[in-house]
């Protein structure tokens, strides 16, 4: 029941949790990891979390999803891949990729769970990236599982009832378990095979060791780029609501915004590599080009 190593805020060389999904069952536990995250902002210090999740009024969630869909291009460009407060991991490029498509469009595959704080953090960046290529409907609010889970009540959204439309790509998501670990959505046999093969140390060395194979969140961008585990620490979002996070998304100096948008720029660059650089106003933007340069990819 090993889980992928993740970066924890605020102290280096700390113990952390992440989550593992087998091809048939989801399990979770605790692992020791060696971390080296330099934290210079007191606002991301992890403090004691309340026993119950904050409320998520519909009006606040509507405003938050609107903010995610309308982040200024200038903010993406100002952030680029800079995230001084918390390290951000880019996706891994697949050697000898096998195309993942849906109705002749490149497909982005996401596998996560509602209880998982790492999935909660990653969804912010994934939604921000995908909103640059299309439109979501039906995204609902959620908080990750309560204590004793790590990073309890991490604010996020769920893809369970969401639909996505785009002329550039397709998006498929699985939330495999609820906040209380009940089975929610099951992978198709084809996606189980993709998950079992590619969510491994062989293809994603950044997960640290073969014992962390099967980490969630897992993201596959058209069979060409992979992410296993969160790109940045969920500790950044500690004790906040969706509305509070969304309110800062237009501010490129906000450390939370920097981590989310740096991750989103890496994701956007990966997607652009599969859409032949379309749409050009997104793929040729300064922030996306900075991410492409860091990842050593062109489109």
| Cis omega (within 30 of 0) for bond into 217 | yes
Cα 33 to Cα 36: distance, rounded to the nearest angstrom:
10
pLDDT-based confidence at residue 20 (cuts at 50, 70, 90): low
Interstrand relation of 105-112 and 170-175 (parallel, antiparallel or unpaired): parallel
d(C-alpha 190, C-alpha 21), whole Å: 15
Give residue for tokens 């000898």: 96
Q: Specify the DSSP element, H or E, that contains 18.
A: strand 15-21
Q: pLDDT tens digits, residue range 28-51?
A: 332 333 233 333 332 333 334 456
Give the pLDDT of residue 21.
55
pLDDT-based confidence at residue 57 (cuts at 50, 70, 90): confident
Element holding 158 (H helix, E strand): strand 155-158
Return the pLDDT at 287: 98
User: Using one digit for the tens of pLDDT, what is the confidence trace for 109-120?
Assistant: 999 999 999 999
Q: What is the pLDDT of residue 277?
A: 98
Q: Indicate the pairing of strand 155-158 with strand 140-143.
A: antiparallel
170-223 per-position pLDDT tens digit: 999 999 999 999 999 999 999 999 999 999 999 999 999 999 999 999 999 999
Cα 128 from Cα 249, distance rounded (Å):
10
Q: What percent of the chain has pLDDT over 70?
A: 82
Q: Check pLDDT > 60 for residue 11.
A: no
Percent of the chain clearing pLDDT 90 (strictly above):
80
Section 136-163 average pLDDT: 96
Q: What pLDDT sits at residue 238?
A: 92
| Residue 155 pLDDT | 97
Higher pLDDT, 136 or 30: 136
- Residue 16 has a pLDDT of 38
Count the Cβ atoms, other than its own, within 10 Å of residue 244: 15
Which tokens go with 49?
Answer: 């979390």
So what's the pLDDT on residue 127? 98
pLDDT (average), residues 134-163: 96
pLDDT mean over 81-98: 96
Asked whether the beta carbons of 22 and 9 are under 8 A apart, the reply is no
pLDDT given for residue 19 in this prediction: 59
CB 114 within 8 A of CB 184: yes
- Whole-model pTM: value is 0.85
Task: State how far the Cα of 108 lies from the Cα of 129, in Å rounded to an integer.
Answer: 11
Whether residue 31 contacts residue 8, with contact meaning beta carbons closer than 8 Å, is answered with no
- Residue-wise pLDDT tens digits, 233-263: 999 999 999 999 999 999 999 999 999 999 9
Which residues does residue 175 pair with via DSSP β-bridges, in sequence order? 112
- How far is 104 from 211, CA to CA, in rounded Å? 35
The pLDDT score that the predictor gives to residue 55 is: 72
Split at pLDDT 50, 70, 90, the class of 56 is confident
Q: How far apart are the first and last CA of the chain?
A: 39
Rounded to 10 degrees, the C-alpha dihedral 72/78/81/83 comes to -100
Q: Mean pLDDT across the chain, nearest whole number? A: 86
Residue 273 CA to residue 43 CA, distance in Å, equals 35
pLDDT tens for residues 140-152? 999 999 999 999 9
- Tell me the domain boundaries of the chain: 15-295
């Amino acid at each position: 029941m090993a889980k992928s190593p993740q970066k924890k805020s605020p102290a280096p060389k700390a113990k952390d949790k992440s989550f593992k999904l087998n091809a048939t069952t989801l399990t979770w536990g605790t692992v020791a990891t060696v971390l080296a995250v330099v934290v210079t902002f007191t606002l991301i210090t992890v403090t004691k979390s309340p026993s119950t999740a904050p409320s998520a009024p519909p009006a606040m969630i509507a405003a938050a999803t609107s903010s995610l869909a309308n982040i200024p291009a200038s903010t993406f460009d100002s952030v680029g891949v800079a995230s001084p407060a918390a390290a951000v991991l880019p996706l891994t490029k697949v050697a000898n990729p096998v195309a993942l498509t849906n109705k002749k469009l490149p497909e982005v595959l996401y596998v996560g769970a509602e209880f998982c704080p790492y999935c909660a953090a990653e969804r912010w960046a994934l939604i921000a990236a995908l909103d640059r290529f299309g439109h979501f409907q039906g995204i609902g609010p959620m908080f990750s599982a309560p204590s004793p889970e790590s990073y309890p009540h991490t604010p996020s959204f769920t893809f369970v009832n969401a639909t996505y439309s785009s002329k550039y790509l397709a998006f498929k998501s699985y939330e495999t378990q609820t906040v209380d670990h009940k089975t929610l959505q099951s992978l198709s046999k084809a996606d189980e095979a993709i998950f079992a093969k590619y969510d491994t140390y062989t293809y994603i060395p950044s997960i640290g060791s073969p014992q962390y194979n099967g980490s969630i969140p897992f993201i596959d961008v058209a069979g060409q780029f992979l992410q296993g585990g969160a790109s940045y620490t969920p500790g950044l979002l500690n004790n906040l609501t969706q509305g509070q996070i969304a309110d800062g998304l237009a501010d490129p100096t906000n450390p939370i915004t920097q981590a989310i948008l740096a991750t989103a720029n890496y994701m956007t660059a990966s997607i652009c590599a599969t859409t032949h650089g379309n749409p050009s106003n997104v793929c040729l933007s300064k922030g996306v080009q900075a991410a492409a340069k860091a990842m050593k990819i062109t489109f």
